[in-house]
Structure 1
Amino acid sequence: MELGTALAVVAFADQCLKYGNKFVKRCQSYLHAEEEAVELLLAIESNWVKMEAQIVILRRIAGSLNKKLQDMQSQVLSQLEGKLKTASLIIEQMLSEKREYGKAKDDKRNHNDWDIATVMKGLGDMRASKKARYVFKKSALYQIVDEIEKWQARFDPTWILIMQMSVGDIDEGLHEQRQKVERQQIPIILAAKGIRDAARAAQDERVKDRGLIWIDGLDLKPSTIPHSSVQFSTLQDTNEMVVIDSMISNPAANAKQTLKEVRNLARILAEVDPSTFGLLKCRGVIKVVNSRESPLSGPSPLDFKFVFNIPLQLSNPQSLRNVLLSGTSYPLNERLNLAKRLANSILFVHTVQFVHKNIRPETIIVFQNEHSDIGAPFLVGFEQFRVEDGSTYRAGDDIWEHNLYRHPSRQGTHPEVDYQMQHDIYSLGVVLLEIGLWTSFVLYGEDEGTSSPVQNDILGSVDLARPRNPRGSASRNKLELEGLAIRELPSRLGKRYTDVVLLCLRCLDSGSGANHDGQDFDVGAADWMDEDGVTIGVSYIENVLEKIQGIIV
C-alpha cells in the first residue's frame, strides 16, 4: 500500500482508532486511583474523545483529498499510531505487573478484580526495585500523554485546513457531531462547522445578517494600548473587556465591496475558538460615518470598528512591541510557544481565504494568563485585510517601521505587485526573527509619546531611509535580515528555528535558498503556488508549522 493514497489514510486512521480505544480502555482502572492518576485519566479521555471524532471525519473524506493532503495525513496519522502503540504497551506492562503483585499477595483473589488503584495504594509494601520500575513506567506514561498532546497541536491546523474544502462528506460528519448533546460536543468541531457555514454564507448573497454582525449602542470608552494599532474598553453595562480594531476605508475602494468583505470577515471571526486559533472572537462591527471627506453626492463613506471579546481568564493587554521593548527576560520555551501560536494564527487567516497585510509586533496583542509568564498572543490589526482573491489597489506607505516587515515587492506608497498570502508569511518571518533575538527592531526615546522611532543597532547595515533605488535597497535589507538570522539565531534558539525563519523570509524567492549550514533546500516561489487555497496551506504546514511545532527546548 503506497503512502499517500486514500487507502493509506483510511488504514492509518483505523489503526489509530484501534490503538487509541484500546489505550483508553486500559486506563479506565485509574478512575478509582489517587488524585494524580485521576487527573491523568481525565486528560487521556478528553484528548482521545477529540482525536477520535476528528479522525472519524478524516477517514470518511480520505478519498476526496488531493494527493498532497493524503500524503501529509498518512504521515501524521502514522506518527500517532506509533505513539498509541507505545502507550498501549506501557499500560499493558503496568497492568501485568499489578496482577503479578496481586497474585503474590493473595493467590485466592481473582486477577480480574485487581486494578491499578490497588497497586498504587500498596506501593509502600513493594521492594525498592519493583517500586522504581513502577514509578519509571508511570513517568513514561505521562511523557506519552504529553507527546500525544503535542501531536494534537500539530494535527489541528491541518485538520482545520481540510475542513474548509468543498467536500460534501465533511458537512455530514460535522453535522453529526453538532447533533450530540452539549456535554459531548467538541469545541474545535463546532468551530470548524461554524467557520465553514460562515464561509459558505459569504459566498451566498441570499444569506442575511440577521442582526448578528452590525451592532450599535455599545458604551465604549476606548483606552490606548501602547505601541499597538488597537484599543481596549470596558463595557459599562456588563463590565466586560473588549478590543476595538478600527478599519479606515480606502477612498479608492468600492464601498459595497468593502462592506461585503467586512461582513464576511466578521462572520468568520465570530466563530473562532481563541485558544485554538490565536484570534479573538468577533462580537460585531460598528459602522462609523467617515467625516474626513464630504462626498459630492450620495451617502458618506463608512469606516468600521471591529469589536472583539476578551476571554474571561485573560487580562492586562499589551502589544508584542511593548513586551519586546520592556527588556524582560523569559524562558526559551515560553518564547518558542509564543512563536508557535503566532504561526498557527497565520495559517487560520489564510485557510479562510483572507490576507492580513499588516503583521508586525504592533498588531499582536499579548494577554496575561495563568499558564505562562509572557502570556497568550493574539493576532489583531485587521485594518488592511482583504479577501485573498479580492480587489487590490496596491496602496502602501513609506513608514520605515512598516516597510521593515514588508517583502521588497510590497514596500512604498505604490507596491509593484499584488498582495498574496506569501507576503504575510514573509512578515511572520521578520517577527519570528525578532522573537528569536528577543529584542525590538524599533526603539523609542524616554518620552515614547512624542519621540520618533529609530531602528535598533542590531539591524546593522539595514537601510530603511528613502533611497534612490527603493527596490534595490529593500532587497539588500532582506539579505541583511537573512544574514542576521544566520549569524545570531542558531546560538539562541537553535538551528531548526533558524531554518523556519529563513524559510519564511525566502518564501517568495524564485530559486532555491540555503540554510545556515550552507546546505541547499528547494523552497522557492514555485513550492508555494496556490491551488484553491490548499497547496499553499500544505506548503506552509510542511515548511513552517511542522518544523516549528517539532522544536522542543
Structure 2
Amino acid sequence: MDPLSIFGLVQTCYEVGAKLIEICDCWKNAESEVQARLLKVRSCWFRSRSQVEFMRRVSAIIEDDLRRLFGDLMRQLATCLREASAQLNSVIQRGEDAKPGFLVFGGRAKKAAYVWKKEALDGIIADMEEWQSRFDPSWFLIMTIASPTIDNELRRARASAGMIERAPGGAPSAANNPLALASGLRTTLSSDAKPPSFLSSFPMETVDIPYSALKIARRTGDSKWYVVDSIDCSPYPDVKALARDVRVLAARLSQADPVAFGLLNCKGVIAASQTQQQGVPSLDSSSPPQPAGANHLAPLNTSRSISRSPSPSNYRQISNFTLLFRFPEGMEVLQSLRQMLLNSDANISLGRKVRIAREMAKSVAYVHTFDFVHKNIRPESFLCFEPPDGASSSGGLSSHAFLAGFDAFRAATGATMMHGDLTWDCNVYRHPLRQGYNPAEKYRMQHDIYSLGVCLLEVGLWEPFVEYSSPESGGRSVHPMAGKSFHHFNAWLEQKNAARQDGSKATSTERQGFLDLLAFKLKDYLVEQAETRLPARMGAKYTRVVLACLSCLDEDRYPGDDRQVAVQYIEDIMMNLGGISV
C-alpha cells in the first residue's frame, strides 16, 4: 500500500471521527453518568487521532508489510467510527419516537432514553478500546525503526500533545498518552541509551508465589510490595555481559505500561553477592497481598534476605540479579497462571479464558518489541492480578495477566547458550529443536511464539501439562512432576509405534536421533490435541491461533527479519485473538 492510499484512509477516519464527536456534543446537558461516558468516547478518539496522525506522517519510511497492516487497521477504525455514529443516531431517533403525548408518561420516557444512551455509549467505548488494543502493537513496533524521521515526528507530536490533553471534553491523561509511552520506549531502545546503575541493596522480606519461581517482597518495615524476579548467574559464562543485558532490560521495562504492554513496570535491579545472608523471621507489619484461592495453595514460604551489592567492577562476586517490579495500580490479588490451571475451570468463563490468551499474546509481542527473547514462556512465568473484591464492578478494573519470569532471557541479538535439560516441565513448552541437553538451533523469537502456542493450548483445554507434588510432611516446598498429560502422551506414542509396526511408513523426522524423534513426536501430539479437542471448547478461530503458533517454525512460515516476524505475529496471532467474539 502506497503512502497516498494511507493518506486517503486517514482522512476518512478524521471525517467520520469528527461526525461522532459532533453527535456527542448534542448530549452536552445529559446526566452525569452519560457525561462520563461521553468524556471516555472523546478520550478514545483523541488518543486514536494522535497516533493515526503520527503514522500518516511516517508512512513513507516504514516497510510495505507494516504499511499494509496499518491500512487494514485504518479501515477497521473507519468502520468502528461509522457504527458508533449510527448507534448514537439510532438512540436519538428512539428518543424522538418515544416522546410522550401526555405528561404522565414523561418520566418513563426519560428513563428509557437514559438507559439507551448508557448502553450505546458503553458498547462504543468497548469497540474503540478493542480497536486500540489491536492497533497499539504496530504503533509501538514503529518505535523500533532507526530513522531520524521517527525522532523528528515524535518530537513534533509531543510538542502538540499539550493541546490534545487540554482539548474540550477531556483527553488522554499523561499516563495513557501513547506519545509519552512511545518516547520513553524509543529512548531506552536507542544504542546511545546509558543503562541505569544497580539499586542500592536493602533488607527485604519475601513471600513465595505458589507454583512459580517469582516472589513478592518488601523493604523490611515497609508496606509496599514488589514482585521479585531473580536471575542466577551460575549458568552464564560471561557475567559482565549478563549484567549489561539485565540493566538494559530493567531500563526498558521501567517504561512499561503494565495494562498496555502486559509487562510489569520495573523499579530497578539489585546485584547480589555470593556472601548474601539469609534468615527466616516472621512478617511483622501489614500482611502481604494474598494470592487468590488461598485454600488451594502450597504453604507460603517467608524469608528475609539482605542483598549486598558488590562493586560493578568485580563481576565475579555477583551470584544473582534481582529485578523489582511494581504492582499494577489498583491490583492487589495475584496468583500464577499455573495455580489457576491446577484448579477447576468451573468458575472460569470462556470470555475470561480468551482474555487471558489475548494478554499472554500481547506480553510476548512487547517483550520482542523491547528487543529481547524470553526463553521461559510457560504458565509459571505469568502472574494473574485482580483488583480487591468488588473493585472490578465499581471501578472499571478487571483481572489481567502479566509476563515475568525473566531468569532465562537474553537480548534478541545476543549470544545464546547451547545447553538444556531433559525435564518434562520445561521441554513440553520448548520447540523440538530447543529440547534436550544440546539444543540443535540457536534461540530466536519464533521459539517464544511456539512456547506461547503450548500455553494457549493448555489454557484452551484447561488441563495442566505439568502437575506438582504435595508438600512433604512438615515441609513447605512443592516440586513439578509430569502428571497425567505426560502419561497421555506416552500412551499416544505407544499407539503410534504399534501402528508403525503394522506397516505404516516412517516420517522424515525418524531419520533423526531418538531424542529429536521424541521431541518432534511431542509436537505432533500437541498439534493433534489442538486439532481434535480445541474447536469444541474454544472455537475454530482460537484453534487456528494455537496451530499458527505451533507451526511458526515449519518450512519458514515466519520468514524475514525480526520486524517482519513481528508484523506477521500481529496479523496471525494478536488480531485473530482480538477478533474472537464471546
Q: TM-score range by the shorter chain?
A: 0.7 to 0.9
State the partner residue of 1:515: none
Residue 100 of structure 1 deviates from its aligned partner by: 8.8
Among residues 408, 422, 432, which one is paired with 1:408 in the alignment?
A: 432
Does residue 549 of structure 2 align to residue 549 of structure 1?
A: no
Structure 1: which 5+ runs fail to align? 106-118, 511-524
Q: Give the SS at the match of 2:202.
A: coil
Does residue 217 of structure 2 align to residue 233 of structure 1?
A: yes
Contact persistence 1:94–1:134 (CA under 8 A):
no
CA distance in 1, matches of 2:139, 2:323: 28
* 1:447 aligned partner, one-letter code: P
Among residues 283, 289, 301, which one is paired with 2:267 in the alignment?
A: 283
CA distance in 2, matches of 1:323, 1:314: 17
Does residue 457 of structure 2 align to residue 460 of structure 1?
A: no
Does residue 165 of structure 2 align to residue 149 of structure 1?
A: no
Residue 389 of structure 1 deviates from its aligned partner by: 1.4
Does residue 455 of structure 2 align to residue 431 of structure 1?
A: yes
State the partner residue of 1:187: 177
* 2:339 aligned partner, one-letter code: N
Does residue 365 of structure 2 align to residue 365 of structure 1?
A: no
**1:276–1:244: structure 2 CA closer, same or farther, 3 Å change rule?**
same
Contact persistence 2:468–2:478 (CA under 8 A):
no
Contact persistence 1:235–1:242 (CA under 8 A):
no
* 2:326 aligned partner, one-letter code: N
CA distance in 2, matches of 1:346, 1:450: 28
Q: How does 1:227-266 map to 2 (within 5 A)?
A: 227-236=211-220, 238-266=222-250
Residues 144-153 or 263-272, more deviating? 144-153
* 1:528 aligned partner, one-letter code: Y
* 1:246 aligned partner, one-letter code: S
What does the per-residue CA deviation read over 1:28-70, in whole Å, with 9 as the maximum and x for residues that have no partner?
2323212332132022012112111111111111111111111
Residue 22 of structure 1 deviates from its aligned partner by: 2.1
Residue 171 of structure 1 deviates from its aligned partner by: 2.1
**Count of equivalent residues:** 505
Q: When the two structures are superposed, what TM-score results if normalisation uses the length of structure 1?
A: 0.84
State the partner residue of 2:505: none
CA distance in 2, matches of 1:96, 1:266: 54
Q: How does 1:310-321 map to 2 (within 5 A)?
A: 310-321=327-338
Q: How does 1:2-151 map to 2 (within 5 A)?
A: 4-92=1-89, 94-95=91-92, 124=108, 139-140=119-120, 142-151=122-131
State the partner residue of 1:522: none
State the partner residue of 2:154: 174
* 1:76 aligned partner, one-letter code: L
Among residues 295, 316, 335, which one is paired with 1:300 in the alignment?
A: 316
CA distance in 1, matches of 2:94, 2:424: 66
Residue 169 of structure 1 deviates from its aligned partner by: 3.0
* 2:214 aligned partner, one-letter code: V
Q: Give the SS at the match of 1:371.
A: helix
**1:462–1:266: structure 2 CA closer, same or farther, 3 Å change rule?**
farther
Residue 224 of structure 1 deviates from its aligned partner by: 0.9
Contact persistence 2:240–2:315 (CA under 8 A):
no
**1:405–1:88: structure 2 CA closer, same or farther, 3 Å change rule?**
same
State the partner residue of 2:350: 332
CA distance in 2, matches of 1:407, 1:161: 25
**1:398–1:457: structure 2 CA closer, same or farther, 3 Å change rule?**
closer
CA distance in 2, matches of 1:404, 1:274: 28
Contact persistence 1:188–1:276 (CA under 8 A):
no
* 2:519 aligned partner, one-letter code: A
State the partner residue of 1:214: 198
Contact persistence 2:265–2:325 (CA under 8 A):
yes
What does the per-residue CA deviation read over 1:316-342, in whole Å, with 9 as the maximum and x for residues that have no partner?
322111111122431110111011001
Q: When the two structures are superposed, what TM-score results if normalisation uses the length of structure 2?
A: 0.80
State the partner residue of 2:363: 345
Contact persistence 2:375–2:447 (CA under 8 A):
yes
* 1:529 aligned partner, one-letter code: P
**1:299–1:252: structure 2 CA closer, same or farther, 3 Å change rule?**
closer
**1:387–1:367: structure 2 CA closer, same or farther, 3 Å change rule?**
same
* 1:384 aligned partner, one-letter code: A
Q: Give the SS at the match of 2:329.
A: coil
CA distance in 2, matches of 1:340, 1:30: 35
**1:229–1:463: structure 2 CA closer, same or farther, 3 Å change rule?**
farther
